[in-house]
Amino acid sequence: MSSPEWRVSPTPEFIRSSQTYEKKHPDELAAALANLFQRYLPRLNHARRHGLVQAGCLHHEGQGVIAIDQSGQGRKLRETRLYAYAHDESFTLHLLLIGDKATQRRDLRNVREILRNLPLDPSHG
């Protein structure tokens, strides 16, 4: 039995942070998005639960939050983290925020706040 396709749902905070990140670090944003769409999402679509997915670019940050990095997409790229939350019941991958290693602590605090305010209705994600 195959699992349904996961839906990607960017938060307003992700959209804002990615627009800012694109201006300063376009190659790093492209690398993190490539890892999301080429490495993580295909594996997620074959899994019943996000916890079953493993990838070298994937970091578990607690409370179900994952960080997808830029690794494997080129040399000398700034360490980047694309934060997401996979809601298994609705097959929705919420994109929360993007930042770099230097702002990781602040980003994780912001991610947890975004997650607290995220509506997680099982029928809508």
Confidence of residue 121 (pLDDT cuts 50, 70, 90): low
Residue found under tokens 């578990």: 60
Percentage with pLDDT > 90 across the chain: 50
Residue found under tokens 């960017």: 10
Structure tokens at 75: 């040399």
**pLDDT tens-place string over residues 61-100:** 988 899 998 887 777 898 999 999 998 888 899 999 999 9
Answer yes or no: are the C-beta atoms of 111 and 92 closer than 8 Å.
no
* HSE-CB of 27 using CA atoms within 13 angstroms: 9
Using alpha carbons only, what angle is made at residue 17 by residues 4 and 56, rounded to the nearest 5 degrees? 55
* pTM strictly above 0.95: no
Rounded to an integer, the average pLDDT of 34-45 is: 86
d(CA 98, CA 65): 13
One-letter amino acid identity for 34? Answer: A
Do strands 65-69 and 80-87 pair parallel, antiparallel, or not at all (unpaired)?
antiparallel
Structure tokens at 39: 């490495």
Question: Which has the closest alpha carbon to 42: 12, 68, 70?
Answer: 68
